[in-house]
Chains A and B, each alone.
Chain A
Amino acid sequence: MFYRENGQFKTSYRADSQIFPIAQDRWGVLALLAFAVIAVPLLADEYLLRAIFIPFLILSLAALGVNILVGFCGQISLGSGAFMAVGAYAAYNTYVRIEGMPLIVALLSGGFFATLVGLFFGIPSLRVKGLYLAVATLAAQFFCDWVFLRIGWFSNNSSSGSVAVSDLSVLGWSIESPISKYLFCLGVLVVFGVLAKNLVRGAIGREWMAIRDMDVAAAVIGIRPMYAKLSAFAVSSFIVGVAGALWGFIHLGSWEPAAFSVDRSFQLLFMVIIGGMGSIMGSFFGAAFIVVLPIFLNQALPALGSLFGLDISTALVAHTEVMIFGALIVWFLIVEPHGLAKLWSIGKQKLRLWPFPH
Chain B
Amino acid sequence: MKIRHIVLAGLVASASAGAFAQAKEQFFPVLSGRTGPVAPNATPWANGHNDYMKLVNARGGINGVKTLVEECETGYATDRGVECYERLKNKNGGATVFQPLSTGITFALTEKVAADKISLITSGYGRSDSADGGIFKWNFPLIGHYWVAGDTVLQHIGKKAGGMDKLKGKKIGVAYHDSPFGKELLPILQERAAQYGFTLQLLPVAAPGVEQKATWLQVRREQPDYMILQTWGVMTGTAIKEAQAVGYSREKMFGTWWSGAEPDLKDVGEGAKGYSAVMMQHGAEPQSAVVKDIMDKVHSKGEGAGPKDEVGSVLYMRGVVGAMLATEGVRAAQERFGKGKVMNGEQARWGYENLNLTQAKLDALGFKGVMRPVSTSCADHMGSAWTRVHTWDGSKFVWASDWLQADDQVIRPLVKASADKYAAEKKLTRRTPADCQS
Taking Cβ atoms with an 8 Å cutoff, the residues of A that contact B are 45-47, 50-52, 55, 96, 145, 149-150, 159-162, 164, 166-167, 176, 251-256, 258-259, 261, 295, 298-299, 313-315, 317-319, 322
Contact = CB atoms under 8 A, between A and B. Distances in A.
A258 B82 contact: no
B207 A160 contact: no
Interface in B143-195: 178-180, 183-184, 186-187
Interface of B: 32, 34-35, 39, 43, 46, 71-73, 75, 78-79, 82-83, 86-87, 90, 103-104, 107-108, 110-112, 115, 127, 178-180, 183-184, 186-187, 204, 206-207, 418, 425-427
A159 B418 contact: yes
Given A51-B86, A96-B425, A254-B111, 6 more contacts: A50-B86, A254-B108, A254-B110, A313-B34, A314-B46, A319-B35
A253 B78 CA distance: 12
Contact of A47 (B34, B87, B107, B179): B87
B82 A46 contact: no
B86 A162 contact: no
Nearest to A317: B73
A258 B78 contact: yes
Contact of B107 (A96, A160, A318): A160
Contacts of A313: 34
Which of B107, B127, B179, B206 counts the most A-chain CB atoms under 10 A from its CB?
B107
Main secondary structure of the interface of B (DSSP, over half): helix
A270 B35 CA distance: 22
Contacts of B34: 313-315, 318
B352 to A, nearest CB: 22
Contact of B427 (A51, A150, A167, A318): A167
A106 to B, nearest CB: 16
Nearest to B71: A314
B108 to A, nearest CB: 5
A358 B75 CA distance: 52
Contacts of B35: 315, 318-319, 322
Main secondary structure of the interface of A (DSSP, over half): helix
Contact of A252 (B71, B73, B82, B187): B82
A160 to B, nearest CB: 4
A166 B428 CA distance: 11
Contact of B179 (A164, A256, A295): A256
Given A47-B90, A51-B82, A318-B34, A256 B104 contact: yes
B247 to A, nearest CB: 29
Contacts of A253: 108, 111-112
A150 B10 CA distance: 66
24 contacts: A47-B87, A50-B86, A51-B82, A96-B425, A159-B183, A159-B418, A160-B107, A160-B183, A160-B184, A164-B425, A251-B82, A252-B78, A254-B110, A255-B78, A258-B104, A314-B32, A314-B71, A314-B72, A315-B35, A315-B39, A315-B43, A318-B34, A318-B73, A318-B75
A194 to B, nearest CB: 28
A265 to B, nearest CB: 15
Q: Which 4 A-B pairs have the closest CB atoms?
A: A315-B34, A160-B180, A51-B86, A51-B83
A294 to B, nearest CB: 9
Contacts of A255: 78, 108
A159 B111 contact: no
B73 A314 contact: yes
A319 B35 CA distance: 8
Which of A47, A145, A160, A167 counts the most B-chain CB atoms under 10 A from its CB?
A160
Nearest to B35: A318
A319 B36 CA distance: 10
A266 to B, nearest CB: 14
B72 A256 contact: no
Nearest to A315: B34
A258 B179 contact: yes
A159 B73 contact: no
A254 B35 CA distance: 24
A315 B426 CA distance: 37
Contacts of A314: 32, 34, 46, 71-73
Contacts of B204: 149-150
Given A159-B183, A160-B180, A256-B180, A46 B107 contact: no
B79 A252 contact: yes
